[in-house]
Amino acid sequence: MGNSSQFEVHDASILENARAILEKAGSAKDMADAVIRAVQRNEEWRGKRCINLLAPEAPTSPTVRQLLASEIGTRAAEGHIGRVNRWFAGTQYIDEVESLCVELLKKAFRCNYADHRLMGSMLGNMAVYHALVQPGDRVMSASQPFGGHSSNRPDGPAGTRGLEIYDIPYDPDELEVDLDKFTEEAQRIRPKLVVMGMSMTLFPLPVREMTSIITEWGGKFVFDGAHQAGLIAGGQFQDPLNEGAAILTGSAGKTFSGPQSGMIMWNDPSLTKPITEAIFPVLVATHQVNRVAALAVAAAEILEFGRVYMAQIVKNAQALGQALDSRGVPVLAAHRGYTRTHQVIANVRQFGGGLEVAHRLAEANIISNKNLIPGDTPADWDRPSGLRMGTIEVTRLGMMEQEMETIAEFMARVLVNGEDPELVRRDVEDFRLPMQDFYYNFDNGWPTAQEGG
């Protein structure tokens, strides 16, 4: 049992509250019920009554959710697909599910190779750092204030490999890679890998240009497309593997709208052995076959609905950006049309900063996250100036550009007019409660405004 002097990385008071709940419970069954009630409260609130604008979140289709609870998820299937490759017998149907998943991923991403076993795209990136570089090698990646992600930085998987990690130079006004500076520094550093993993992602990246510079010394470009995977598969963003990237990693639960997990795709046969051997037996053993089945169906949904679904996500993000900006909430990259992805980034410094604003909006049932933006320094890490929003969930609920106006109006009432979030929350609930079905899937088809696709 913990006590107040025990070191915790978690919020100690929340852990203490959990202990109090367990102590008050009369039996282990009551303890289990306490867990279930918390899940139900989340479902009732986040699931039914909130406008979820978290950019890395996507609602799955009813079928995908159902598959996550399927019997196949209780089976163990280590190793590569096939009778001889597996340690266990009895895996013929599992092989069928997994091979369908692999082939569906290849179709969705128009590539030669894909792996289905990663339980997060963090692991996809780790596979890259395990397979393609050695301690002491040099890599270049984007830093966090410009949207980079810890996966590719000293504090994440890349850092655990003892690499020398350099920043990719960025233009803070255009929010894009400063190609001149990159060329200069890359030629000096001669990195083995250049990894673009953008958690804040508004515009396509110069994959072709950067690749052509680093191939001079055999450097490889890795596109960590955690956020953009669905947009890429749906043909609504750049196509990194076609533009020179050697490897594309992606999260299955962000724009791709499948079960939270990872995917990795490539074309070059010489990468197959190093990558797949980094996945098994290094990073995963049993890899959740229920999740693989769900991922396979999510890939089929993208094949059928992805083009229109992803296009609407982008249109909605642009509409939300415009609608917020015109109501006095400054949005980044206004001069470039705000965004070409699912994301919108606001500068909310004048309203108290990202942390404060995200929590105030959450009181009005509008869920977003604080975000570092250019100009923030390391001291701003916990209290950055930015607010990141994404339009995946609202789009899958069937919303169109017109509804983005409504959402921006709710936000402006809290931030610009200083209205009591509790009052705005009532209107948010009235708006949200009638919309409970997720579209762009085989269960519910197209939203009525897009009947027939």
Ligand X SMILES: *Cc1c(COP(=O)(O)O)cnc(C)c1O
Q: Which residues bind ligand X (CB under 6 A)?
A: 56, 120-122, 149, 151, 197-199, 224, 226-227, 251, 262
* Minimum distance, C-beta of residue 276 to ligand X, in the bound complex (Å): 19
- CA dist 129 and 137 (Å) reads 10
What's the token pair of residue 193? 């890998």
Fill in the DSSP letter of residue 21. H
The residue whose Cβ lies closest to ligand X is 120
**Identity of the residue, 51 or 226, whose beta carbon is nearer to ligand X in the bound complex:** 226
* Minimum distance, C-beta of residue 205 to ligand X, in the bound complex (Å): 12
* Minimum distance, C-beta of residue 190 to ligand X, in the bound complex (Å): 24
**Identity of the residue, 248 or 428, whose beta carbon is nearer to ligand X in the bound complex:** 248
Q: Return the half-sphere exposure (C-beta side, CA atoms, 13 A cut-off) of residue 212.
A: 6
**Identity of the residue, 122 or 264, whose beta carbon is nearer to ligand X in the bound complex:** 122
**Identity of the residue, 308 or 317, whose beta carbon is nearer to ligand X in the bound complex:** 317
Radius of gyration (Cα) for the chain, nearest Å? 22
- CA dist 62 and 42 (Å) reads 18
The CA-atom distances, in angstroms, between 354 and each of 29, 52, 331, 419 are 40, 16, 13, 18
* Residue bearing tokens 């190779």: 113
Q: Are strands 193-197 and 138-141 parallel, antiparallel or unpaired?
A: parallel
* Minimum distance, C-beta of residue 451 to ligand X, in the bound complex (Å): 33
* Minimum distance, C-beta of residue 198 to ligand X, in the bound complex (Å): 6
- CA dist 95 and 82 (Å) reads 6
**Identity of the residue, 121 or 365, whose beta carbon is nearer to ligand X in the bound complex:** 121
* Spacing of C-alpha 278 from chain mean position: 22
* Residue bearing tokens 């128009």: 110
**Identity of the residue, 146 or 351, whose beta carbon is nearer to ligand X in the bound complex:** 146
How many residues belong to the chain? 453
* Minimum distance, C-beta of residue 341 to ligand X, in the bound complex (Å): 12
Q: Is 197 helix (H, G, I), strand (E, B) or coil?
A: strand
**Identity of the residue, 240 or 398, whose beta carbon is nearer to ligand X in the bound complex:** 240
**Identity of the residue, 141 or 322, whose beta carbon is nearer to ligand X in the bound complex:** 141
* Minimum distance, C-beta of residue 295 to ligand X, in the bound complex (Å): 12
Angle (CA) 430 433 439, round 5°: 135
* Minimum distance, C-beta of residue 222 to ligand X, in the bound complex (Å): 11
Are 200 and 146 contacting, i.e. CB atoms less than 8 angstroms apart?
yes
Are 124 and 282 contacting, i.e. CB atoms less than 8 angstroms apart?
no
Q: Are strands 138-141 and 164-167 parallel, antiparallel or unpaired?
A: parallel
